[in-house]
Chains A and B, each alone.
Chain A
Amino acid sequence: MSDALDRELLNAHERGDKTALVTLYSQAADNANTDDAKYFYMTHAYIFALDTGHPIAQQLRAKLVIAGREA
């Protein structure tokens, strides 16, 4: 994860901006170097999407299910 994205994530956590966390963790997943890192970040994006009722939740879940990471 880039330093800039890391800072943005920390800021979003500090603000409690869960919608931003969905976006930022999705970006982190897209930029990850390994599968484990990718699905780790995607899981976070998915959880904050679930939390906020974000419509992208089901897409993220579908990706995780296909990868064998979610039921």
Chain B
Amino acid sequence: MTTPELVFSVLALIGAGGAVLLVTAKNVVHAALYLVVTLAAVAAVYLVLTSEFVAWTQVLIYVGAIVVLLLFSLMLTRAPIGREALDNQQRGIAALVGAAILGGLAYLLNDAFRGARIELEPTFTADVGEQMFSTYVLPFEVVSFLLLAALIGAIVLARKEDA
């Protein structure tokens, strides 16, 4: 086991643990904090995979913005405490479905990519920017338009109606 693999394994265990705690937490605020753990672990995984720009975007957008947004909406809505209040009655079936998806994916992926290895080479943020504004400039514009539409939609939805 090489050093990057060891680091990745530790980070993956942290992230997986955070994910399990997130979906089983009894308190919604704790769930949001476990989400931070998982998102930060995923950001660190990006760093191990040498994709530093994606890693910092993950930290900025996910940990910085989305989690704060989720926490604010938890504060604005009354969230009860306890598994019975937060979960529905399908917990057993849901666990079954999740385990089936995990088992199926693990079998298929291991079957298809057995022995495949990622050779780590540094990637540079300059290259990401260059590709983003040359090869992928049209998707970039479409995504920015989508973001603008979402922004206006959120304002329209959340605004108080004054008759």
User: Is A bound to B?
Assistant: no
Interface residues of A (CB under 8 A from B): none
